[in-house]
Structure 1
Amino acid sequence: LERWREAGGVPPAGADEETALTAMLAAAYPAEPGPEPDPTALAVLAETAEYLGAGFADLINLFQPERILVGGWAGLQLGTRFLETVKGYANAYALTYPAARVVIDMGTLGPDAVTVGAAILPLADFFGRGGRRAEAETAEEQPAWASTVREREAH
């Protein structure tokens, strides 16, 4: 958004980031046939897609993930239009072997993916234990004589 402003783009006055991004997308890709697409917005969005692809390539090269999911309010707005372009740049910039094994896709949890994912962690832990509660550990300190008695009983 800052790059668009610097290059002469005009977001709505007093708009938050989400509204400004929506305005930039509308300027680049007008819904109605009348207005011409804003070339500045188009250039900034194309540059952004390349930068995202290069960033994904870095993640792929460093961590070799099985999947990268694009989400959040900005990801959902940009991803529907640019995901294939971002994938192309990621594949071009990443090493061939790890790039062939990663899936880049849109997240399905909506703009609140981080919150939803964090809320699922306790459930995953619960189901990981087979639906049982965690056993409370009783780490009471034993008196010194107790270990001596246990050793004598063993003989």
Structure 2
Amino acid sequence: ERWREAGGRPPEGADEETALTAMLAAAYPADTATPPDATALAVLEETAEFLGAGFADLINLFQPERILVGGWAGLQLGTRFLETVEGYAREYALKYPAARVGIGLGTLGPDAVTVGAAILPLADFFARGGRRAEPETEAVEEQPAWATTVRERTAQ
């Protein structure tokens, strides 16, 4: 959408994945005789800076050892784009935590988030030693006498 707003020409009616593919093809044409689309390059550069600034916030707050970019968009953008993002992240982050974080592409494929979410119930099951969860019983809260009186009077 940002590419369209900046004057780019994604295919009409294209979904996000197809539009991203078109923008990458415009920015980095396979044919060396075709000039790169300056608008697509500018949008990718802007996106890399925003993503790098977001990573810098994560680095400063949580000081992770590693940040992995995945999903269909991250894998499609690839290492070329990731180098620019990493440069901005290191530029905007505090020097000490930035020197200790690795930023790379995930290797679990485009469905990594879905697979990770599917594992959560299994992790919970194993955390309970392979036992079923105890059914939750609803606590019956005893009502004060005045509430019963009000309920009886309003029912009449």
Q: TM-score interval w.r.t. the shorter chain? A: 0.7 to 0.9
In the alignment of these two chains, the number of paired residues is 138
Amino acid at match of 2:22: A
| Cα distance in 2 between the residues matched to 1:111 and 1:18 | 12
8 Å contact from structure 1 (residues 70, 79) kept in 2: no
Give the equivalent residue in structure 2 for 1:48.
47
Question: Given the alignment of the two structures, is residue 86 of structure 1 paired with residue 59 of structure 2, yes or no?
Answer: no
| Cα distance in 1 between the residues matched to 2:133 and 2:52 | 45
Q: Secondary structure at the match of 2:107?
A: coil
| Cα distance in 1 between the residues matched to 2:132 and 2:72 | 36
Structure 2: any 5+ residue segments left out of the alignment? 138-156
User: What pairs with 1:1-155 in structure 2 (closer than 5 Å)?
Assistant: 1-2=1-2, 4-128=3-127, 132-133=130-131, 136=134
Query: Relative to structure 1, is the Cα distance of residues 46 and 103 closer, same or farther in structure 2, using a 3 angstrom cutoff?
Result: same
| Cα distance in 1 between the residues matched to 2:58 and 2:40 | 27
Query: What is the Cα-based RMSD across aligned positions, in Å?
Result: 2.2
8 Å contact from structure 1 (residues 30, 37) kept in 2: yes
Runs of 4+ aligned residues of structure 1 deviating over 6 Å after TM superposition are none
TM-score w.r.t. structure 2 length? 0.77
Q: Secondary structure at the match of 1:65?
A: coil
CA displacement, residues 81-113 of structure 1 (integer Å, 9 cap, x when unaligned): 211111111111101111122221111121111
Query: Relative to structure 1, is the Cα distance of residues 135 and 117 closer, same or farther in structure 2, using a 3 angstrom cutoff?
Result: closer
Q: Secondary structure at the match of 1:110?
A: coil
| Cα distance in 1 between the residues matched to 2:51 and 2:6 | 20
Q: Secondary structure at the match of 2:114?
A: helix
Q: Secondary structure at the match of 1:50?
A: helix
Amino acid at match of 1:133: R
Amino acid at match of 2:41: L
Structure 1: any 5+ residue segments left out of the alignment? 140-155
Q: CA deviation at 1:134?
A: 5.3
Q: Secondary structure at the match of 2:110?
A: helix
CA displacement, residues 48-105 of structure 1 (integer Å, 9 cap, x when unaligned): 1111111100111112222211011111112332111111111111011111222211
